[in-house]
Amino acid sequence: MSLRVSHPHVELSAQLEGSPVVRGTRIAVRRLFAWHRQGVPLETLFKRYPQLSPGQLLDALSFAYDNPELIEADLARERAALGQDVRNP
């Protein structure tokens, strides 16, 4: 799958199996998206991640909404990894 990242604050992390992260951090876009989708207000996310500028956080969410299949696959991969860790401590 070829993906062109046109969001200046998002990069695909080789260290995190190609997961989209906020550029220069290890903050996964999937986490920001999952909380936002569950109704967590932007103000709460700004407070939880004070190291992110509003532009970084909003660009990460924009990336997630522009690439829902990628984010859903990333969330599924995370759930599978967590399930695997729980079964095999």
pLDDT digits (tens, 9 = 90+) for 36-83: 999 999 999 999 999 999 999 999 999 999 999 999 999 999 889 888
Task: State if pTM tops 0.85.
Answer: no
- Sign, CA dihedral 76-79-20-42, equals positive
Res 5: pLDDT: 57
60 near 66, Cβ under 8 Å? Answer: no
Res 24: pLDDT: 94
User: Which one is predicted more confidently, 46 or 89?
Assistant: 46
Q: Does domain 10-80 have CATH number 1.10.10.10?
A: yes
Burial of 73 (0-12, 13-18, 19+ CB in 10 A): middle
